[in-house]
Structure 1
Amino acid sequence: MSAPTADRPGPGVFSKGRAQISERTLRTDRWWQSPLVVDLGFAAFVIYATVRAFLQNNYYVAEYHYLTPFYSPCISTGCVPEASHFGQFIPDVWWLPYAAASLPFLLLFRLTCYYYRGAYYRSVWQSPTACGVAEPRANYTGETRFPLVIQNTHRYFFYIAMIISLINTYDAIIAFHSPSGFGFGLGNVILVVNVVMLWVYTVSCHSCRHIVGGRLKHFSKHPVRYWFWTQVSALNTRHKTYAWVTLGTLMLTDFYIMLVASGTISDLRFIG
C-alpha cells in the first residue's frame, strides 16, 4: 500500500481526520513472520490435498483395508469396489474427486473454523495483518457481507464433520484386517492416531462448546451438560494446536497409504 500524502489521504487509519503518520506501522519487530508462516502452512496443505484429490489413485490397500481419509467415503462409481463401504452413486468424471461428498464440507468446516478465521484474517484477508499494523482497506464490515457472511454457517458444517469423523472411525476399525483375519500394522497406528486427533479437533470446536453448554442460565440445574461443557472447554484452549496437528496427521496418513498402495514400501506388520 502506497504511503498517503497530505493531498491524497489513504484509507482506514490513514483517512482524513486521523493522525497523519505515513509509516504503515511503527513496530520494529518481525510482525510479518507469523502471517507468513501461516500462509506457507495453509498453502502446503491446500496444494498437497488438491493434488492427491485429483490423482485418484493409490488410495486403498486392499490387503489390509487401508483407506486414506482424503477419499473417505469413496462413493464414486470409479472407486475400487472394496473401498466403497457405503455404495457407489457419484458419477466418475475427471473433475469430480472420489470423495466429493465429504471433501468440500471438510474444507468449509475448517475454512469457517474460529481459529482458522483468526489465522487467515491476518495472513490472507489482512484485517489486520498484525496488531498495530494498518489494514489495506478503507472499511471493514466484519462478517455481515459476502464473502465473510459465509462464516455464520460454521455450526452446520460442524454437524457434517461429526458424521465424517464417524465414517473415518469406521474406516480405522475395519482396517484391523489381514488375509488371515485380524491384523495390526504401522498403518493401523497411523490411522487410529489420525482419527483420534480428528475427533479431538472436532470436539474442541467452539460450536461444540456452545452446543453442549450454550443457552444455560444455571449450570447447577444441568450437571451433565455442565460436565461436558467443562471437558470441551478444556480441549478448546488448545484448539489452535489441534487444528495444525490434524493437518499434519491427515497428510501423513494419506502419504503413508499412498506409499503402501503404490508398492513403494511395505506395511510394517506386528500381527497378521
Structure 2
Amino acid sequence: MASTDHGVTSPGRAHIEARTLRQDRWWQAPLTTFVVFSAFVVYATVRAFMGRDYYASPYLSPFYSPCLGDCVEGASDFGQPFAWWPLSAALIILVFPLGFRMTCYYYRKAYYRAFWLSPPACGVAEPHQAYSGETRFPLILQNVHRWFWYAAVLVGLVLTFDTVLAFRPMPAEYALGDGETSGIHMGLGTLLMIANIVFIWLYTLSCHSCRHVVGGRLRHFSRHPVRYRLWTWVSRLNESHGKWAWYSLFSVAIVDLYIFLLATGTIQDVRFF
C-alpha cells in the first residue's frame, strides 16, 4: 500500500533502534546475489554488444539465437529479416529472455533484496520510508511476466533446435582424418548445450505463470484430469524454481563463454566423435 503508515516504522510497531535482532549472517545471501547477478549482467551486456565471436560451427551462442540480424555465415537458421539492423544481432532477441527473467517472481525477490534492500532479509528493516509495491511505474510493468513466459517458451524451442543442430557433421576444415566428415558430431560443446537446454526448460516449466496456464481458472480439477496432472507436475517443479533459475543462469553463460573461446581460437572443441 502506498502509505508511510505501513511497515517497520508504522506507529503500531514496537520501537526498536536496532536494524534487526538477528544474530546470524543474514547479509550473506543478498550480498552473494548482488555479486553474482551483477557479474552476469556485466558479462551478458558486454557479449551482447560485441556482435562477434558467437558462432563456432556447429555451435551458436544462446545470446544470439535465433540470429536474425546481419549474422556470420552459418549462424542464421531462420533467415536474416533484420539484416538492416545497425547494432549487434543479440539486441534483437535478448529482450525476450531478459524480460522473462527480470519479471520472474523468484528473481524479483532476489534483486529486490540484493539491490533495493526491500527488505534485505526476513526480520531486517528496510531503509525505505514508503512502500508502494508493484502498483506504480516502473514496477507495475512486472505484471507482464506471463506474456514474457510465452516468449520464453518460443526461445526454449529455438534453443532446443540449436541443440539438435549441434549434432551436425563438422565442416571439412574441422573434420577428423583426411578431410572426411563424420556422420554425427559430439563434442564438449554439445554436452554443454544439452545441459543448458535441460536447465532452461526446467526453469521455464517450473514458472508460476506456467502453473497458472495449465491449471488456473478451473473450478473442478476432477473434470479436467489432464490439466490436473500437468498442474501437479508443474507444481512439483515449482518447488525448485529458484534452483533452476540459478542453474540456467550459469549454464547459458558457460555455453556462451565456451563458444566465444572456440570462435576466437583460444581453445579447441573437445571431440568425442
Q: What is the TM-score when the length of structure 2 is the normalising length?
A: 0.89
Q: Does 1:98 align with 2:93?
A: no
Report the alpha carbon displacement of residue 22 of structure 1 after superposing the two structures with TM. Answer: 2.2
Q: Does 1:248 align with 2:243?
A: no
State how far apart, in whole Å, the 1-side matches of 2:133 and 2:218 are: 27
1:56 is matched with which residue: 44, 51, 60? 51
More deviation, 225-234/175-184: 175-184
Q: Does 1:202 align with 2:204?
A: yes
Report the alpha carbon displacement of residue 92 of structure 1 after superposing the two structures with TM. Answer: 4.1
Aligned length: 257
* Counterpart for residue 83 of structure 1: 75
Report the alpha carbon displacement of residue 171 of structure 1 after superposing the two structures with TM. Answer: 0.9
Q: Deviations over 1:22-62 (max 9, x none)?
A: 22222222221111111111111101111111122211113
State how far apart, in whole Å, the 1-side matches of 2:229 and 2:14 are: 50
* Counterpart for residue 159 of structure 1: 150
Secondary structure in 2 matching 1:31: coil
* Counterpart for residue 107 of structure 2: 116
Q: Deviations over 1:166-220 (max 9, x none)?
A: 1111111112122324221111111111111101110110000000011112111
* Counterpart code for 1:80: V
Q: Does 1:147 align with 2:138?
A: yes
State how far apart, in whole Å, the 2-side matches of 1:229 and 1:97 are: 39
* 8 Å contact from structure 2 (residues 49, 91) kept in 1: no
Matched-pair identity in %: 56
State how far apart, in whole Å, the 1-side matches of 2:115 and 2:150 are: 27
* Counterpart for residue 64 of structure 2: 71
* Counterpart code for 1:184: M
Secondary structure in 1 matching 2:153: helix
Change (3 A) 1:203 1:11: closer
* Counterpart for residue 186 of structure 1: 188
* 8 Å contact from structure 2 (residues 48, 91) kept in 1: no
* Counterpart code for 1:250: V
Report the alpha carbon displacement of residue 259 of structure 1 after superposing the two structures with TM. Answer: 1.2
* Counterpart code for 1:51: V
* Counterpart for residue 228 of structure 2: 226
* 8 Å contact from structure 1 (residues 73, 101) kept in 2: no
State how far apart, in whole Å, the 2-side matches of 1:61 and 1:25 are: 52
Change (3 A) 1:41 1:69: same
Q: What is the TM-score when the length of structure 1 is the normalising length?
A: 0.89
Report the alpha carbon displacement of residue 97 of structure 1 after superposing the two structures with TM. Answer: 2.6
* 8 Å contact from structure 1 (residues 212, 225) kept in 2: yes
Q: 1:28-47 residue pairs with structure 2 within 5 A?
A: 28-47=23-42
* 8 Å contact from structure 1 (residues 213, 225) kept in 2: yes
Change (3 A) 1:219 1:14: closer
Secondary structure in 1 matching 2:272: strand
